Chains A and B, each alone.
Chain A
Amino acid sequence: MTAAPGERPLLALRGVELGYGRAPVLAGVDWEVRAGEFWFLLGPNGSGKTTLLRAILGLLPPRRGTLARDPARAGRAQIGFVPQRCDMNPALPTTVREVVTLGLVGVPHARAERPARIARALALVGLDGFAERSFWALSGGERQRALVARALVRRPSLLILDEPTESLDVTSEAAFLDSLAALHRDERVSVLFVTHRLWIAERFASHVALAWRGALVAGPRDATLAHAHAAAAFGSALRARAGAAAEQRA
Chain B
Amino acid sequence: MIETFVASWPLFRDTYLVGTAIAFVLSLVGVWVVARDQLFLGAAISQASTLGIALLLWLETLGAAAAAPWLASESAAAACAVAASVTTALATARPAPPGRESAEARTAWVFLLAASLPVLLLAHSAHGLEEVHRLMFSTLLGSTPRDVARFAALALATAAAVAAYRSRLVLFAMDPEMAAAVGVPTRRAGAAIAVWLGVAIGASIHVSGLVYTFGCLVLPALAAKNLCREVRPVLWLAPLLAVATAAAGFVVAHHWDLPPAHATVTGLCAWVALGWLVRRRD
Contact = CB atoms under 8 A, between A and B. Distances in A.
Contacts of B94: none
A13 interface: no
A150 B171 CA distance: 12
Interface stretch (A66-74, A80-88, A174-182): A80-88
Interface string A40-75: 000000000000000001110000000000000000
A83 B181 contact: yes
A89 B183 contact: no
B177 A87 contact: yes
Nearest to A137: B282
B174 A105 contact: no
Given A87-B176, A87-B177, A105 B231 contact: no
Nearest to B227: A93
A104 B167 CA distance: 9
A65 to B, nearest CB: 22
Contacts of A94: 174, 229-231
Tell me the dominant secondary structure on chain B's binding face: helix
Contact of B175 (A88, A91, A106, A154): A88
B257 interface: no
A93 B36 CA distance: 13
Interface string B165-182: 001101100111111111
A102 B230 contact: no
Given A89-B37, A92-B174, A105 B181 contact: no
Interface residues of A, number: 26
25 contacts: A57-B180, A76-B182, A76-B183, A79-B181, A81-B182, A83-B175, A83-B178, A83-B181, A87-B175, A87-B177, A87-B178, A88-B175, A91-B225, A92-B35, A93-B229, A98-B230, A98-B231, A98-B232, A102-B175, A102-B178, A103-B182, A105-B179, A105-B182, A150-B178, A154-B182
Pick the most buried of B176, B183, B184, B226: most chain A CB atoms within 10 A of its CB. Answer: B183
A95 interface: yes
A49 to B, nearest CB: 15
A134 interface: yes
Contacts of A81: 178, 181-182
A88 B178 CA distance: 10
Contacts of B175: 83, 86-88, 102
Contacts of B182: 76, 81, 103, 105-106, 154
B181 A92 contact: no
A89 B230 contact: no
Contacts of B36: 89
